[in-house]
Amino acid sequence: MKKILIVDDHPIFRMGMKELLNQEDDLMVCSVAEDFASARKSLSEDQPDLAIIDISLAEENGLDLVKEITLNYSGLPVLVLSLHDESVWAERAIRAGARGYVMKKEASESVISAIRNILSGKIHVSPDMMAHLLDKFQGNPSAQGAPTVDILTDRELEVFRLIGSGLSTREIAERMKLGIKTIGTYRDRIKQKLCLKSATELTRHAVIWKEKEHFPAPE
């Protein structure tokens, strides 16, 4: 019986995921957490065999928790399960130390398969994402079509996402627990990297990107 920790700030999702996993003969949800503090407590007390983590945790970034687990619990595999677009976030999750990435819109069978693959020592992403990662690793020119935001660091992308959500510089600083000047520096770096000339242009691009992330064009 493998013990699973679920870290997600939506109570209904936690409840549904717990019910889904507990139906499996060899899986058991040992604990659920809504933030970093409760996740750390569960990691220490319950010693799970795998952690499922969302990227957006209220006022925290789940990738920071993935990095923390990778550093402090090197033998604990992590599956990132998120609403965020795989094409933007999956590679970042893997770099942070996660062993897999599944979007919440995927069927429940995909989550079970991902868990089993990861517990068996494999990395789990979609076939398209795996092809992209292999192309990028091998230096294939076809991989150069990656999203422009790929050039942003994780922190810069988080600031960009929050700008797209309509937050002011002060609100972003409070959300990320950083100084206003630090957020201003991040904004300047983002503008430079994305070749944006003004704060207005930065906001417009961030809003458009945020909308596309949640409502991608039909295939």
Based on the fold, state whether residues 103 and 23 are members of the same structural domain.
Answer: yes
Q: Which residue has the higher pLDDT, 1 or 150?
A: 1
- Whether the per-residue pLDDT at 196 is higher than 50: the answer is yes
Q: Which of 113, 136, 159 is the last residue of a domain?
A: 136
Measured between alpha carbons, how far is residue 163 from residues 46, 95, 173, 205, 214 in Å?
Answer: 37, 24, 11, 9, 15
Residues forming a β-bridge with 82: 103
Q: What is the mean predicted confidence (pLDDT) over 158-172?
A: 92
Of 14-28, 69-83, 131-145, 205-219, the least confident: 131-145
Residue-range definition of the domain harbouring residue 190: 148-214
Based on the fold, state whether residues 115 and 72 are members of the same structural domain.
Answer: yes
- Whether the per-residue pLDDT at 74 is higher than 90: the answer is no
In a domain, 219, yes or no: no
Q: Which residue has the higher pLDDT, 126 or 28?
A: 28
- Whether the per-residue pLDDT at 140 is higher than 60: the answer is no
pLDDT per position as a tens digit, 116-125: 999 999 999 9
User: Residue 25 maps to which CATH number?
Assistant: 3.40.50.2300
Based on the fold, state whether residues 33 and 119 are members of the same structural domain.
Answer: yes
- Whether the per-residue pLDDT at 72 is higher than 60: the answer is yes
In a domain, 141, yes or no: no
Based on the fold, state whether residues 88 and 191 are members of the same structural domain.
Answer: no
Based on the fold, state whether residues 129 and 152 are members of the same structural domain.
Answer: no
What's residue 137's pLDDT? 62
Based on the fold, state whether residues 90 and 183 are members of the same structural domain.
Answer: no
Q: Which of 136, 156, 181 is the last residue of a domain?
A: 136
In a domain, 12, yes or no: yes
Query: What residue type is assigned to position 165 of the chain?
Result: S
Based on the fold, state whether residues 115 and 172 are members of the same structural domain.
Answer: no
What's residue 91's pLDDT? 86
Q: Which of 136, 168, 203 is the last residue of a domain?
A: 136
Please report which confidence band the pLDDT of residue 219 belongs to, taking 50, 70 and 90 as the band edges: very low
Based on the fold, state whether residues 106 and 30 are members of the same structural domain.
Answer: yes
Based on the fold, state whether residues 19 and 105 are members of the same structural domain.
Answer: yes
Q: How many domains does the chain have?
A: 2
User: Residue 202 maps to which CATH number?
Assistant: 1.10.10.10
What's residue 111's pLDDT? 93
In a domain, 143, yes or no: no
In a domain, 122, yes or no: yes
**What percentage of the chain exceeds 70 in pLDDT?**
90
Based on the fold, state whether residues 152 and 132 are members of the same structural domain.
Answer: no
In a domain, 178, yes or no: yes
Neighbours of 1 (CB within 10 A): 9
Residues forming a β-bridge with 102: 81
